[in-house]
Amino acid sequence: MNDTAEYNPLDYSNLTKSCVEELLRRQIHPLPMVKAFPGAGIYALFYQGNFGPYQHERIRSLDSTKPIYVGKAVPAGARKGLAKQSTGTPLFNRIKQHTASIVAAPTLRVEDFACRYLVVTPLWITMAERFLLEHYQPIWNVILDGFGNHDPGKRRYEGEITWWDALHPGRNWASRLAPTRSAAAARKRLREFLEGKRPAEIPAEDDESQEQESIEE
């Protein structure tokens, strides 16, 4: 490290480091989380179980330092630019919804998951989530995407099944989507990513943001 180099606390890499370090200082909570808490912000889920494809050092994290998924929960009005300090429980609600998705999947056990969360000033939530996505490249965000999706509604079931639902069937609404992807294909996709043969596909905008307004209001 060059001790004479000028330090800019607002440099992108320094902001990323600060956000990651602050999240990892937060308490580890097992799922399901029972007690509701106020606020919006960012969160990370960690896997600690024995599902075969996840027995890799980049995925299984007994010390809850390498997330399998990261996300955000914004206050009501965020997509319209009207959000101020959150007075509800959007962050808790989002984690609760994820817990339901995990419970629905026979291939997963909810007790094998843990969570850290960080209540964040609304202005910084989306950027903070971006820091986490780029820093960790969690597999449920960048290669087995779809975990954060919601029921698209009865008029939109012509869409194809997500990679996450292909590997982890169980959500009722996902079973109505076109079965264009298989568990075997999902495993191959994950294996190629872990072997460096397939690059991460970091979303331009996380899928869950498409439905945030209806969740929080």
**Is 165 domain-assigned?**
yes
Spatial CB neighbours of 128, under 8 Å, sequence gap ≥ 6: 19, 41, 42, 72, 118, 120
- Residue 7 included in any domain: no
Round to whole Å and give the CA distance between 134 and 132: 6
pLDDT for the residue numbered 165: 97
Q: How many distinct structural domains can be found in the chain?
A: 1
Q: Which helix (H) or strand (E) holds 91?
A: helix 90-104
User: Considering the domain boundaries, does residue 19 fall inside one?
Assistant: yes
Return averaged pLDDT per consecutive 10 residues of the chain, 217 residues in all: 61 74 94 94 97 97 97 74 65 96 97 96 88 93 94 66 96 91 97 97 64 38
Whether 41 and 105 have beta carbons less than 8 Å apart is answered as no
Is 6 within the bounds of a domain?
Answer: no
Asked whether the beta carbons of 45 and 98 are under 8 A apart, the reply is: yes
- Report pLDDT for 4: 64
Q: Give the Å distances, CA to CA, from 153 to 123, 149, 211.
A: 30, 12, 12
Q: Is residue 92 part of a domain?
A: yes
- Which residue range is the domain that position 145 belongs to? 12-212
**Rounded Cα distance, 101 and 160, in Å:** 18
| In-domain check, residue 5 | no
Pairing of strands 113-119, 69-73: unpaired
3 falls within a domain: no
Give the model's pLDDT for residue 70: 97
pLDDT at residue number 204: 78
Report if residue 178 sits inside a domain.
yes
